[in-house]
Amino acid sequence: TRRKRAEQAAARRSARIERERTAQELLLERLNGVVAEVTSAVAEARSRSDLERSVVEGLAATYAGAWIGSYEPAAEAVVRRAAAGWPGDDGGRPADESIPVDGDGEDILEAAVSRAITDHQVTIRACTDGTLPPTAVAAVPLHYGDALYGVVGVYTENNSEFDEHERAVLTALGRTVATGLNTLE
């Protein structure tokens, strides 16, 4: 019986390791695709609007949806400029929506954008209030040196998609997009 218990434990451990390996392979494949899409969009863009449109389309191909907005310091707001995928296109928010950056209020999107602008770090918020069908939003700041260009919002339908690996990739993508915006300016 001791041998049988050891065999069963080894089989469970083997199955768990295989599930983890499969999940890691899927994560790597997904992240590789989004990095390639966004990097290509930045390299090929000839205008800010081309870059913004291509970036959100690349992100929306991997996630539930994405949008990009420019930071308007005088208004203390981020103004959405391009969106792709659900809920970016039709999530009930206008294409040129102004998102205040002074809030730690109850609006999940406003809180995430505000924190991303203030801390210059990717901010992830769970959508637990039922106002958005996605389960999480990541606000990715676009900064290059001292210049703050705006924020990219990324939606997912699964909270587990935004793990620490994902946060690191989104941070790098935010810097890549900001570098592209800086080059275009």
φ/ψ (deg, to 5) at 91: -85, 20
Torsion of CA 32, 35, 36, 42, to 10 degrees: 180
Omega of the bond leading into 87 within 30 degrees of 0 (cis): yes
Can you give the pTM of this predicted structure? Answer: 0.78
In order along its 185 residues, the chain shows pLDDT tens digits of 899 999 999 999 999 988 888 777 776 777 777 778 888 888 888 999 999 999 998 888 888 889 999 999 888 899 998 888 865 454 455 567 788 887 666 778 888 999 999 899 999 888 765 555 667 889 999 999 889 999 999 988 765 667 777 888 899 899 999 999 998 98
Q: How far apart are CA 176 and CA 153, in angstroms?
A: 15
